[in-house]
A and B are shown apart, each in its own frame.
Chain A
Amino acid sequence: MGNLTNERSIVSYHRTPPGSQPSRIHQPYRSTPSRNPNQALIFLPHTLSETTGPVYGHDPIAENDNDLTKQHPGEPQGMRIIVTGRVLDDNGRPVPNTLIEIWQANAAGRYVHQRDQHPAPLDPNFSGAGRTLTDENGVYRFVTVKPGPYPWFNHYNAWRPSHIHFSVFGRAFLSRLITQMYFPDDPLFPYDPIFQSVPDEKARQRMISKFDLELTQPQWALGFRFDIVLRGPEATPFEA
């Protein structure tokens, strides 16, 4: 039975600023109204149940899990890219040893999935899944190919901007983040209701990676930087 008065058990995490996260029901994204609650969410003060989370017990990371171009005998088609960045909390502290999982379409915009049947070729040398752990400074790195845009059925002539899905755990169940990383200057941004579901313009920019010439490796791959910020704790009692 828990000791109720231990100060560590009453740590709260920051809430996110208004407009910085997507609207749950965003009418232009047509599947949102039937898949999100109509009633207001009930405000939950944080307890140990929310401020702890799965930090142990992930499966081991295998060689080439973070290099999506080396998971098959041949190289995938497309523009080879390096995607790297840091995972920080909203206090600016690195989040070390946390699991990042990614998945994406191939260079032609096709997912290896039975529900994606649009007429673009599969690539026998590309599965589109990767995972890694951040290092002690919160840094991660993937090598992959740039995914193509692809059509969907949300509205007439709907196309998703190129993106890589990111899943990040962080330290607490409430810091868990699943997002999409976009590429700079995509002409599809104004037409994409998923990207546009985030009300604040500055917040939308946080989902766009930055081209980085210093990361770019001559004769080999373009570099993109994508830093990720997770919700962090209010003053940690033992450090305050």
Chain B
Amino acid sequence: MEFVPTPSQTVGPYLHIGLTRKHAKPCIAGPQAKGERVWLECRVLDGDGAPVNDAMVEIWQADSQGKYNHPDDPQSQTADPECRGFGRVASGDDGSCEFETIKPGRVAGPGNTQQAPHLNVAVYARGILLQLYTRIYFAGDPANEQDPVLALVPKERRGTLMAQPDPDRAGGWRFDFRLSGANETVFFDV
């Protein structure tokens, strides 16, 4: 192969200078976007369970109808202009970060399958040389049972991909990224 992709390198501890100081995007879908509003609170934890205070989380998702705001999405309807579909934030001192968005619709999977509503996530940090890809699903959604990607994950590990509803907050969901060790989040070879 003549053109081989450039190697990835870590974002390092000073990623904020270039990526999140002026260009953080905690709002993936504005207040006018259609769909069920979601406030997603995440934590990034290392192999010792300690908060990772210099991570960056990026999310890419479809709109409430399952349409990606991208020219390669073959569906005929136009994407909701109020749903950017992309967000990114840096983690704080306690390893946490928060996004505002809407629950995405279902998106086509391989063959005749439909994927359950999910957020596509990439995690970056000092010590991460190549971004870690994972997905966030919504616990309790009946579509999870038919999701072709969850079906690739051993049953006992699927829970690591489930955001859990926050009992104290309407529309609130929580998700932990456990980068390593006990109950480690499932990451994908994308």
Contacts and interface: CB of A to CB of B under 8 A. Distances in A.
A31 interface: yes
Interface stretch (A6-14, A76-84, A183-191): A6-14
Kindly name the residue among A31, A206, A230 whose own CB sees the greatest number of chain B CB atoms within 10 A.
A31
A132 to B, nearest CB: 12
Contacts of B8: 21-22, 177-179
B130 A228 contact: no
Nearest to B17: A103
Interface in A83-99: 88-92
B80 to A, nearest CB: 12
Interface string A31-75: 111111111011111111111111111010000000000000000
A206 B127 contact: no
A11 B68 CA distance: 15
A129 B17 contact: yes
Interface in B161-190: 179-181, 184-190
Contacts of A37: 132, 179-180, 184-185, 187
B127 to A, nearest CB: 3
A164 B96 CA distance: 27
B7 interface: yes
Interface in B69-113: 69-76, 84-86, 105-113
A178 B4 contact: no
Contacts of B60: 49, 52-54, 173
B186 A91 contact: no
A236 B9 CA distance: 29
Contact of A34 (B17, B18, B179): B179
Interface residues of A, number: 89
Q: Is the interface of B mostly helix, strand, loop or mixed?
A: loop
Contacts of B86: 53-54, 57
A51 B72 contact: yes
A186 B120 CA distance: 37
Contacts of A179: 6-9
B131 A176 contact: yes
Contacts of A49: 60, 62, 68, 107, 115, 118, 120, 135
B9 A42 contact: no
B19 A103 contact: yes
Interface of B: 1-19, 21-23, 46-48, 52, 54, 58, 60, 62, 65-66, 68-76, 84-86, 105-115, 118, 120, 122, 124-133, 135, 149, 152-153, 179-181, 184-190
Interface of A: 1-6, 8-11, 16-17, 20-24, 26, 29, 31-39, 41-57, 59, 88-92, 101-103, 111-113, 115-116, 127-131, 165, 167, 171-174, 176-180, 194-195, 197-198, 202-204, 206-207, 228-232
10 contacts: A6-B108, A22-B8, A36-B180, A38-B47, A42-B152, A44-B152, A44-B190, A49-B115, A194-B9, A207-B6
Given A21-B5, A177-B6, A229-B5, 12 more contacts: A2-B75, A2-B106, A6-B74, A32-B127, A36-B132, A53-B70, A54-B84, A56-B69, A92-B2, A165-B9, A178-B9, A194-B129
